[in-house]
């Protein structure tokens, strides 16, 4: 099995049950209390910028993207990213991140942000957002808030509380 042996497709509603099962297996019930989950609760994710890896008609990995805002900044938040255990460590996770970032760039996004492990995402182009620049609606290790800048200056505009872009529209 290599990362080329699976098909990478934009997500559709038909994929939802399998994606939910993969995320349950990867993150367990603890996923519901995570800061990123709280943000994602604020509205829908961007299906057109979210992707699945398929093998034999089944979803084996998933990455989702959600529009977020903070201060004058706008970004796509990547996550959850999860790969079925039997498909781990062949590069599918890395490939999905690359596909999602490229799709975000094509869609005109200034940055992609996420909460995740720097040792994994650093080599993929993500850098820490400077401490004190942003916060989240639930406690989060700020050393794990990372950004991939697609347009120069876009990350500097992301200031303060990060939330789903729809919540900002409602309260604006």
Ligand X SMILES: CC(C)(COP(=O)(O)OP(=O)(O)OC[C@H]1O[C@@H](n2cnc3c(N)ncnc32)[C@H](O)[C@@H]1OP(=O)(O)O)[C@@H](O)C(=O)NCCC(=O)NCCS
In terms of CB distance, is 47 or 88 closer to ligand X? 88
In terms of CB distance, is 26 or 157 closer to ligand X? 26
Tell the smallest beta-carbon distance from residue 172 to ligand X (Å): 30
Tell the smallest beta-carbon distance from residue 99 to ligand X (Å): 12
Tell the smallest beta-carbon distance from residue 19 to ligand X (Å): 12
What is the Cα–Cα distance from 99 to 104, expressed in whole angstroms? Answer: 9
What are the residues binding ligand X (CB under 6 A)?
A: 26, 79, 81-83, 88-94, 116-117, 119-120
Classify residue 156 by burial, with Cβ atoms within 10 Å: 0-12, 13-18, 19+. Answer: middle
Indicate the pairing of strand 73-83 with strand 111-115.
parallel
Q: Which position's Cβ is nearest ligand X?
A: 93
In terms of CB distance, is 96 or 168 closer to ligand X? 96
Q: What is the DSSP string of 84-118?
A: -GGGTTSSHHHHHHHHHHHHHHHTT-SEEEEES-H
């Amino acid at each position: 099995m290599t990362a080329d042996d699976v098909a990478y497709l934009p997500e559709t509603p038909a994929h939802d049950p399998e994606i939910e099962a993969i995320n349950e297996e990867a993150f367990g019930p603890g996923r519901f209390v995570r800061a990123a989950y709280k943000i994602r609760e604020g509205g829908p994710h961007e299906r057109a910028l979210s992707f699945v890896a398929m093998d034999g008609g089944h979803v084996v990995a998933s990455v989702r993207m959600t529009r977020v805002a903070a201060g004058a900044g706008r970004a796509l938040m990547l996550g959850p990213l999860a790969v079925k255990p039997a498909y781990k460590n062949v590069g599918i996770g890395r490939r999905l991140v690359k596909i999602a970032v490229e799709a975000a760039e094509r869609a005109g996004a200034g940055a992609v942000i996420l909460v995740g492990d720097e040792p994994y995402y650093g080599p993929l182009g993500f850098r820490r957002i400077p401490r004190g620049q942003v916060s989240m609606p639930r406690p989060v290790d700020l050393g794990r808030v990372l950004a991939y800048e697609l347009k120069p200056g876009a990350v500097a505009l992301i200031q303060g509380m990060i939330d789903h872009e729809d919540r900002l529209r409602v309260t604006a």
